[in-house]
Chains A and B, each alone.
Chain A
Amino acid sequence: MIKVENLVKTFGTKRAVDGVSFSVERGEVLGFLGPNGAGKSTTMRMITGFIPPTSGRVLVGGFDMVEKPTAAKRLIGYLPENAPAYSDMTVYGFLSFAAEVRGLRGSAKKQAIHRAVEMCFLEPVLHQTVDTLSKGYRHRTCFAQSIIHDPEVLVLDEPTDGLDPNQKHEVRGLIRQMGEKKAIIFSTHILEEVDAACSRAIIIDRGRVVANGTPAELRRRSELAGAVTLRVSGVNGAAVRERLSQLPTVKRTTILEEDNHAVTARAFPKSDVNGVLARSIAEAMQGWRIEELHTEEGRLDEVFRSITMPDTAETQEASKKK
């Protein structure tokens, strides 16, 4: 549904988006991650046709955003960053306007508004003007606007920003549910949302895509992924470390915690032994009292940091040299 090819956007001398390519199919929810200023919003603005790309192209449902903007825009629902809405209109008036712009009239319009209001829980504020709304309601009003025409493509720029935990949960649920039939892109810098709602995630840093995969795939890139954490009682740390380091499958061992009763240790696998580490450790530990033993999945925040940080350090060094 959405195809982005080699998208570039320069502001003056700064390359805000630098050759981004990806595609999103129907039934996919793509999480768009990245530090602040990485180019997430700029990319989304180009996808929705708000700003034209410097080079590269965007296809939405087969329509080129530059050549056939109206046809492409008709397929998209868009929630911009900060959820703007006409402050002097009532929620109903605003949604009615959004519906009319999308070509809905009469009973189709009423139904569309009703559906959007129900999905976004806007009933209590329907006849209030937008500038009297709390941030959460305002946000959901703009969200309702983006889904009013039941679009095939949804582009959401930080849809959960400024919502309380309950509302965040609701919005994530909504995204996941709608993602079954639509192509959705949403940006966030809350990593737990990726697990909660995405089928795939892209990490973007300084205008470039630095990672692209399912949340599980991304987690596997974590240093932690595949490591085994275990808790053994009745022995000391040195003994555990010695026993573990003798195993051919273990690359490195760290003792996380040690007290009078038990030792918590973590063993990192050698690169070619994926999956068998836990079993080999369990076998090696026979006779000891193992209280806990599990294989780590890897953590997204760690992947995120390791992908977006080291480059930063490099560039800082490079600029120092200059």
Chain B
Amino acid sequence: MNSWANIKTIAKRELGAYFTSPVAYVFIVIFLLLCGFFTFRLGQFFERNDASLLSFFVYHPWLFLFLVPAVGMRLWSEERRSGTIELLLTMPITAWQAIVGKFLASWLFLVLALALTFPLWISVNYLGNPDNGAIFCGYIGSALMAGAYLSIASMTSAMTRNQVIAFIVSVVICFFLILAGWQPVTTLLDSLGVVWLRNLVASLGVMTHFDAFQRGVIDARDVLFFLSLIGFALFSTGVIIRSRRAG
């Protein structure tokens, strides 16, 4: 009837599932603790003497590398393991609505966790005069990156009923996306002499696209990069679910 209503119903259930189990609370606490640790200890927030959240955002690609797949790994593998996928896919909704609904729910959850880091924003505003526009951009970039990782976790989760496998595979894929734009990797590919391959791999790098956001620049190409990554991974999720059903 109304696809948006269906998506909302699915998302509501999924989001509820995070909060009725300890997953949400454990995740949020660990995420906030790690954020604090990275920002203040490794990032040397105070020693930098700089009114910005650069030391906060710079660790996000690494923090998300492990935390986001942990949120996304259960999306489909849990449905498959418990057999509820049979209920879900025989209800009068399309697989698309289910995929998008589930994805949006977990993304919303991650954005919520991210929003709970607001005390950092308050502190930095109390201590100095940061560029709040740049901080906002940083949050946007961070949320987009989390969404991209999440869509990959959704894809690997659709492949298996085993959450551990889903987790490991998506960490590996996300790790590849981090490495792709990394200097040593580009140099290595340079030495091969295949220019298009080097450019292709480098353009897949999450880091290069995330960097601009940290500096306070929202470039349409970077936004497009993350959105198309999400689109691609969700499309693959659909293909995997369809092919697994065909048995």
Residues of A within 8 A of B (CB): 9, 11, 45, 48-52, 69-71, 73-74, 76, 78, 80, 82, 84-89, 93, 97-98, 100-103, 129, 142, 145
Contacts and interface: CB of A to CB of B under 8 A. Distances in A.
B247 interface: yes
A69 B92 CA distance: 8
B92 A101 contact: yes
Nearest to B22: A88
Contacts of B82: 84, 86-87
Given A73-B92, A86-B84, A88-B21, 12 more contacts: A9-B247, A50-B245, A51-B247, A74-B92, A78-B86, A78-B87, A80-B86, A84-B84, A89-B20, A100-B9, A101-B6, A103-B1
Given A11-B247, A52-B245, A85 B84 contact: yes
Interface in B196-243: none
B187 interface: no
Contacts of A85: 84, 87
B84 A97 contact: no
A100 B91 CA distance: 11
Interface in B28-68: none
Contact of A51 (B16, B20, B246): B246
B125 interface: no
A74, A84, A93: which has the most chain B beta carbons within 10 Å? A84
Chain B: number of interface residues, binned into ranges: 20 to 34
B172 interface: no
Q: Name B's interface SS.
A: helix
Contacts of B5: 103
B239 to A, nearest CB: 14
Contacts of A78: 86-87, 90
Contacts of A76: 90
Q: Name A's interface SS.
A: mixed
9 contacts: A9-B247, A80-B87, A84-B83, A86-B17, A86-B84, A89-B20, A97-B13, A100-B12, A101-B93
Interface of B: 1, 5-6, 9-10, 12-13, 16-17, 20-21, 82-84, 86-87, 89-94, 245-247
Given A51-B246, A80-B83, A93-B16, A73 B90 contact: yes
Contacts of B246: 51-52
B112 to A, nearest CB: 18
Contacts of B89: 49-50
A73, A88, A89: which has the most chain B beta carbons within 10 Å? A88
A172 B122 CA distance: 63
Nearest to A149: B92
B1, B9, B90: which has the most chain A beta carbons within 10 Å? B90
Contacts of B21: 88
Contact of A89 (B16, B92, B247): B16
